[in-house]
Structure 1
């Protein structure tokens, strides 16, 4: 692996991570158990680098390399739109700085506040839930709650190390337990550690589906004082989910 790192300009740690998420797989192993890589592996890493330079994240890169249905033109259009938005923000920033200089302003704090306000502090909110078995949880959430399946990444030993499910326009990441960061599933600690609220078209129909699927319902559908009809249920490892709809 050291020779491959030297040839590609990547660190050994990066190569280990690529292997962990399934982006790179050794072509074989030596009698001593060392990973072996061939010219095709090196070419794949070169393509990874090119796609990363286009601004793609690793999940998008993996799909581009492995999914026959992936469309380069669509990916490029999406990336172009993101670049245009970044250029617009940069142009606004330049206008603010130029205006401050032209006005002869000396209030540095006011200028900095104006610059900071041009870009939001966050671009997307991602919910993260911890599971002892990410693969089983991914399948359960899709089958029982009807969430849309997203990416499921496995390491070299076949263990699911990252999963994604989609609820409407939101994405929820599924993360394995990790002692170093005190990340534990409710199943392991014996208590609910996270709760998720999802808007649905028909609360009662969703509730009936969950009951039929054997889901443990915590609260039957009820109209709440804050203007939503809600029911709550536990998932396979004990996270509490609330499915709701506005009463308006």
Structure 2
């Protein structure tokens, strides 16, 4: 029987690390694929193992994301020889204190404006300006999103999306029977996961319609359009300048998902 490493041994499997940190297994796999956090080793059964240095590095990634660095910036900062854990924790603490102070001020303003509304039936503009200022300071802790698309055939979809639409290739994982069970692609810093059809999951081709679409920013919409056409894409609309300031075209992929690609005008 394969030995399961424990925390006392300074090694954690991906599921154990996810449980201890609140970071999902899929996010850890994404960080691995993106070159941010590679496991220190693997068990004989192929399970990822993370050591103490990995844990510290994961904290750095999460803290830098919290401080609103992009993934590209984080990638360069992670290997900075002058980095110091104490300085990072101190900066994180200062950022947290700032958020707490802003939250306290916002709470004070909200209670005051509620009192004004109750007694006078209206709120002063001064109070409203204060509330909006504090809301802007708090911002949102959400830093990224991952798109999940369902396909009947993940292998064909993976090949189509990388070859036709030029998405960056990530992992394509297969089950014991050789069938693809999970695919990862990237549009810039954003991950796109491919999920197989099954109970509760259906591709647009199976459903006979769509309820969403994927919008991707590119450097040159016309060049991207030409590449897609050359590779046999089903075009819904040719590149056109939109009133909202982008040049955009639309396409449908091999299982019916809608894609729109836009770039700068002119």
Please give the range of the TM-score, normalised by the shorter of the 2 chains.
0.5 to 0.7
Match of 2:5 in 1: 43
- Asked if residue 164 in structure 1 is aligned to residue 221 in structure 2, the reply is no
Larger mean CA deviation between 219-228 and 152-161 belongs to 152-161
Of 78, 86, 92, the residue aligned with 2:98 is 92
> In structure 1, what is the Cα distance between the partners aligned to 2:104 and 2:208?
58
* RMSD, matched Cα: 4.1
**Structure 2 unaligned residues grouped into runs of 5+:** 33-37, 67-91, 115-130
Match of 1:245 in 2: 263
Structure 1 position 238, deviation (Å): 1.0
Q: TM-score, normalised by structure 2?
A: 0.59
> In structure 2, what is the Cα distance between the partners aligned to 1:72 and 1:145?
39
Of 155, 158, 162, the residue aligned with 1:135 is 155
Q: Is the 8 A contact 1:232 1:242 kept in 2?
A: yes
> In structure 2, what is the Cα distance between the partners aligned to 1:71 and 1:203?
44
Match of 2:169 in 1: 149
> In structure 2, what is the Cα distance between the partners aligned to 1:161 and 1:109?
53
Q: TM-score, normalised by structure 1?
A: 0.63
- Kindly provide the CA deviation profile for residues 174-203 of structure 1, in whole angstroms up to 9, marking residues without a partner as x: 2222333xx310111222343111111111
- Asked if residue 80 in structure 1 is aligned to residue 60 in structure 2, the reply is yes
Distance 1:94 1:233, change over 3 A: closer
Structure 1 position 216, deviation (Å): 1.2
**SS of match in other structure, 1:179:** coil
**Structure 1 unaligned residues grouped into runs of 5+:** 1-36
Distance 1:238 1:72, change over 3 A: farther
Match of 1:197 in 2: 215
Structure 1 position 152, deviation (Å): 2.6
Q: Is the 8 A contact 1:192 1:239 kept in 2?
A: yes
